[in-house]
């Protein structure tokens, strides 16, 4: 019997490294013949055989196995058109469909999801924070299944239970995540998924936190915004899109007449120009000098103020807070529950979250979405808070050293941090940073005493690089920072990594 959403009988699924195996297995479950192609030719033969034996699905790294017998090729949006498998598909005249769209078709046909509400969150930054805030807000009226780069959790009445540790946010894994939850007898009313590079098209609400800054993918053949907007026009009838005012001009042309658009703003240009934005969230200082969030919705006609907790950089969460509030209002979450959540919010692990440990002031801004800009934001925040004599947190009785932990655990985490950019950032703050810990193989050449001088980058003579310490992971880097620091010191962790 033909699949209701997938009309093809034989599909070549590209890229076993980024979810291709999962898609192939899902297709096979529905009686669709799928062959998984290792387009980077990195999978060991014994692993291919093991997978094939377990799943009864063919896995190959041989481009000659791609023939015109296939009906279509399923591939990730970031695959470089110069890849030899991709080029062969074009030569054969085979049509293509993205991992995003196939995942969406599988979700739309899943009877377990049909009567539940599906929310997807994408964007350059703020995805995880938006997802966590929204899940907690919704959990007072619905049971919520949440998956982010932090892992999969089940939320009910403001608290959560962890189901699985971090699994990739690539869209190919979403049907697998749904299987895990339902097989373990979790019964959510709402499912929220953080998704990389766009929507699957199956979502009831799609939240785009911010599309800028744009960056190139697929070997420079496509922009990240192109990828994110592509599935908007292909999303199901009745979809609601919650988007940042800054992206309105780019996105609105993709919205169909049978879809709806909700625009949020964190009190930037939209307020100054008095544009018809649906939800404003303005973070400011209240009468007692503590931060507050003012929320105004022209769509629902409400206005309220919520006090914010100390212990994290509230300005780094402006976009996430605005996006989550806009979606929550659209989903009829009561005002009182929104206020309770944002007032009690203390940041998300690895996202501008500050805490004290053994007398050290630590700012943890290590996450998979880290950029060189957000790394600099972390440095500025701690320097202004603790070393600026005008700051109320400044203590002249303390001799504070600043220890910076920076780098990446894997280059494959999103786009990685470019060593040249890291070097430039460090040079800009060399007078404020007393100790440097570099994380990851690509950062090692920045250390001037690195034994492999042939790999060393062209560097300045700055002393900070001479005494730099190298670490293999965020955890190791943090441990070394604690060991070399003293009470009162400042530790800033900005490592691109999955947590």
Res 270: pLDDT:
45
For residues 141 and 279, membership in a common domain is answered with: yes
Higher pLDDT, 404 or 54: 404
> Is pLDDT at 463 greater than 90 in this prediction?
no
* DSSP notation for 311-348: SB-GGGGHHHHHHHHHHHHHTT--HHHHHHHHHH---B
4 within domain boundaries = no
Longest Cα–Cα distance of the chain, Å, equals: 77
459 within domain boundaries = yes
For residues 89 and 111, membership in a common domain is answered with: no
What's the rounded Cα separation, in Å, for the pair 19 and 30?
17
423 within domain boundaries = yes
For residues 236 and 330, membership in a common domain is answered with: yes
> Is pLDDT at 459 greater than 80 in this prediction?
no
In percent, how much of the chain has pLDDT > 90?
A: 71
Higher pLDDT, 125 or 450: 125
412 pLDDT tier (thresholds 50, 70, 90): very low
Q: What is the mean pLDDT of the chain?
A: 90
* DSSP notation for 28-61: HHTT-EEEEE-TT--S-HHHHHHHHHHH--EEE-
Q: Tens digit of pLDDT for each residue in 105-136? A: 999 999 999 999 999 999 988 999 999 999 99
Domain end: 293, 316, 344, which one? Answer: 344
Domain end: 321, 344, 367, which one? Answer: 344
For residues 141 and 268, membership in a common domain is answered with: yes
Higher pLDDT, 69 or 2: 69
Res 59: pLDDT:
95
For residues 48 and 186, membership in a common domain is answered with: no
5 within domain boundaries = no
> Is pLDDT at 243 greater than 90 in this prediction?
yes
For residues 139 and 282, membership in a common domain is answered with: yes
Helix (H, G, I), strand (E, B) or coil at 141: coil
Q: Tens digit of pLDDT for each residue in 8-17? A: 999 999 999 8
Taking the model in full, what pTM does it have?
0.84
CB 361 within 8 A of CB 490: yes
For residues 266 and 358, membership in a common domain is answered with: no
Higher pLDDT, 1 or 235: 235
> Is pLDDT at 358 greater than 80 in this prediction?
yes
For residues 38 and 173, membership in a common domain is answered with: no
247 pLDDT tier (thresholds 50, 70, 90): very high
Q: Tens digit of pLDDT for each residue in 287-340? A: 567 889 999 998 888 899 999 997 788 888 999 999 999 999 999 999 999 999
For residues 150 and 279, membership in a common domain is answered with: yes
Which CATH number covers residue 296? Answer: 3.40.1190.10
> Is pLDDT at 458 greater than 60 in this prediction?
no
Closest to 324 (Cα-Cα) out of 346, 341, 302: 341
Res 315: pLDDT:
86
1 within domain boundaries = no
What's the rounded Cα separation, in Å, for the pair 88 and 94?
9
Res 23: pLDDT:
97
Which CATH number covers residue 376? Answer: 3.90.190.20
Mean pLDDT of 388-396: 86
Res 391: pLDDT:
85
What's the rounded Cα separation, in Å, for the pair 140 and 95?
45
For residues 323 and 360, membership in a common domain is answered with: no
Closest to 259 (Cα-Cα) out of 184, 192, 305, 206: 206
Q: Which residues have a Cβ under 8 Å from the Cβ of 188 and sit 6 or more positions away?
A: 116, 142, 143, 144, 145, 154, 181
For residues 86 and 139, membership in a common domain is answered with: no
Res 32: pLDDT:
95
> Is pLDDT at 460 greater than 80 in this prediction?
no
99 within domain boundaries = no
Q: How many domains does the chain have?
A: 3
Please report, for residues 17, 26, 76, 146, the alpha-carbon distance to residue 172 in angstroms, rounded to integers and kept in the order given. 11, 10, 9, 16
Res 77: pLDDT:
95
Residues, the chain: 499
For residues 88 and 207, membership in a common domain is answered with: no
Name the residue range of residue 72's domain.
Answer: 10-94
Lowest mean pLDDT among 223-227, 383-387, 456-460: 456-460
286 pLDDT tier (thresholds 50, 70, 90): low
Please give the distance of CA 75 from its chain centroid, rounded to a whole number.
20
Which CATH number covers residue 34? Answer: 3.40.50.720
Domain end: 320, 344, 368, which one? Answer: 344
In percent, how much of the chain has pLDDT > 70?
A: 92
């Amino acid at each position: 019997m033909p699949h209701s959403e997938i009309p093809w009988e034989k599909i070549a699924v590209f890229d076993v490294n980024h979810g291709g195996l999962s898609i192939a297995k899902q297709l096979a479950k529905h009686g669709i013949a799928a062959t998984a192609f290792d387009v980077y030719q990195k999978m060991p033969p014994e692993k291919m055989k093991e997978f094939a034996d377990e799943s009864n699905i063919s896995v190959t790294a041989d481009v000659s196995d791609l023939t015109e017998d296939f009906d279509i090729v399923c591939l990730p949006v970031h695959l470089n058109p110069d890849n030899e498998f991709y080029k062969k598909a074009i030569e054969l005249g085979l049509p293509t469909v993205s991992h995003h769209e196939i995942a969406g078709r599988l979700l739309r046909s899943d009877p377990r999801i049909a009567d539940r509400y599906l929310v997807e969150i994408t964007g350059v930054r703020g995805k995880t924070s938006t997802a966590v805030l929204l899940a907690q807000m919704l959990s007072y009226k619905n049971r919520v299944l949440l998956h982010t780069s932090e892992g999969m959790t089940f939320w009910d009445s403001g608290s959560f239970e962890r189901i699985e540790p971090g699994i990739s946010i690539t869209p190919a894994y979403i049907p697998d995540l749904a299987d895990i939850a339902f097989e373990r007898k979790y019964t959510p009313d709402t499912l929220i998924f953080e998704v990389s590079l766009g929507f699957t098209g199956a979502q009831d609400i799609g939240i785009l936190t911010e599309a800028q800054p744009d960056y190139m993918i697929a070997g420079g053949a496509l922009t990240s915004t192109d990828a994110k907007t592509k599935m908007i026009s292909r999303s199901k009838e009745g979809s609601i899109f919650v988007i940042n005012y800054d992206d309105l001009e780019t996105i609105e042309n993709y919205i169909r007449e049978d879809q709806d658009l909700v625009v949020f703003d964190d009190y930037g240009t939209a307020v100054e120009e008095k544009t018809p934005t649906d939800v404003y969230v303005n973070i400011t200082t209240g009468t007692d000098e503590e931060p507050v969030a003012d929320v105004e919705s022209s769509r629902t006609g409400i206005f309220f103020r919520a006090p914010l907790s100390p212990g994290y950089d509230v300005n780094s969460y402006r976009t996430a807070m605005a996006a989550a509030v806009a979606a929550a209002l659209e989903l009829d979450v009561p005002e009182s529950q929104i206020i309770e959540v944002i007032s009690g919010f203390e940041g998300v692990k690895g996202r501008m979250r500050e805490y004290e440990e053994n007398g050290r002031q630590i700012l943890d801004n290590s996450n998979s979405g880290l950029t060189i800009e957000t790394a600099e934001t972390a440095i500025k925040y701690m320097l202004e808070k603790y070393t600026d004599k005008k700051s109320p947190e400044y203590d002249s009785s303390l001799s504070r050293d600043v220890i910076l932990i920076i780098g990446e655990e894997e280059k494959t985490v999103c786009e990685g941090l470019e060593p040249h950019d890291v070097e430039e950032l460090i040079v800009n703050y060399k007078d404020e940073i007393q100790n440097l810990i570099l994380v990851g193989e690509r950062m090692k050449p920045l250390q001037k005493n690195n034994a492999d001088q042939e790999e060393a980058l062209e560097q300045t003579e700055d002393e900070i690089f001479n005494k730099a310490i190298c670490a293999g992971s965020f955890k190791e880097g943090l441990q070394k920072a604690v060991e070399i620091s003293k009470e009162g010191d400042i530790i800033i962790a900005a490592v691109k990594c999955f947590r």
